[in-house]
Amino acid sequence: MEQDSNLTEDASAKEVKLGRKVTWVGFWTNALLSLFKIISGVVGRSSAMIADGIHSASDLITDVAVLIVIGVSRKKADSSHSYGHGKIETFVTFLISLLLAAVGIGILVDGVKRAIDFFEGGEIPEPTWIALIMAIISILVKEWLFRYTRGAARKISSSAMEANAWHHRSDAFSSLATLAGISGAMFLGPKWRFLDPVAAVFVSILIIVMASKMASSSVKELLEASLPEKEAERIKEIIRSTPGVKDFHRFRSRSNGNTKIVDLHIKLDPDISLKKAHDIATKVENDIKKEFDPIVVNIHMEPYFSI
């Protein structure tokens, strides 16, 4: 058991190292990208690019949050947190979703205001090539950063990192809207410059929807929602197929960060030895862990009596 514990701690340390490495890459990429966006927005006479740069700067906040939480959430269980610290990561994911929603609402409000101002006779200045090129670079860099971060997040089962990855993609969407607006303003003439705020409104709605899905998933976990039905049914199949298990009941499930938790009672032949009963329960636990690790399986054994 001590050797298994050491292996688990080593795996957890590697996950934390990978998570921090990927997040630091995102942090410095966002820092440089936001700086260059704001500069190109000012020089290139594009308010959309300046706003896009500010959006990129908001990613720095989520990067810092993930850097703080990635190590804490992987800490082993202690006397005050019997099932570990995974809920910390879930809570941070929820906070990131709120920030993402706030960014989306901000883009939405700004886009609507700019569109109204344009149709009331206001002018949107014509941007220059530097802003257009920066928008293209931003899309490519943020899409790469999204895929890079999401790949690592799924490898170590980190909801906070995955939420941060989608924050990167929201920035790519924002840059896409900026590119559409800048292109319209440059190539279609002054009458088509309203495309910039309209595209921004469309993208903001996508960002808000994305944030809502993240928030909903996090809230469900914080409120101890059961595992997805497909996962729960697969676990039940494993229990039913284990030789020696006559029946089971009181099946309950939930998540704690990237760790799943299952509680159940299995019914066994009352005439078998305690060792045999323990061996059956151990097989149930090990078979479940083969497919769903990290998972905590709490099994209570009961005698089975046919009616």
| Stretch 268-272: mean pLDDT | 92
3 state SS for 157-215: CCHHHHHHHHHHHHHHHHHHHHHHHHHHHHHCCHHHCCHHHHHHHHHHHHHHHHHHHHH
| Stretch 265-294: mean pLDDT | 91
How far is Cα 161 from Cα 66, in angstroms, rounded to an integer? 7
Task: Name the architecture of domain 229-303.
Answer: 2-Layer Sandwich (3.30)
Task: Name the architecture of domain 2-222.
Answer: Up-down Bundle (1.20)
How far is Cα 61 from Cα 105, in angstroms, rounded to an integer? 17
Look at residue 260 in the predicted model and tell me its pLDDT: 86
Look at residue 73 in the predicted model and tell me its pLDDT: 53
CA distances from 215 to 98, 257, 296 (A): 7, 14, 25
21-46 CB burial, b ≥16 within 10 A, e <16: ebbeebbebbeebbebbbebbeebbb
More confident residue, 276 or 210: 276
Residue 75 has, within 13 A of its CA and on its CB side, a CA count of 15
42-68 pLDDT, tens digit per residue, is: 898 777 787 778 777 767 777 777 776
138-149 pLDDT, tens digit per residue, is: 999 999 999 999
The residue extents of the domains of the chain are 2-222, 229-303
Asked if residue 182 has pLDDT above 80, the reply is yes
- Preceding amide of 125 cis, omega within 30: no
- Which range among 85-99, 186-200, 260-274 has the greatest average pLDDT? 260-274
Predicted model pTM:
0.63
How far is Cα 157 from Cα 259, in angstroms, rounded to an integer? 9
Say if residues 254 and 292 touch (Cβ distance below 8 Å).
no
Q: Read off the pLDDT band of 7 (50, 70, 90).
A: very low
The tokens for 65 are 């949050």
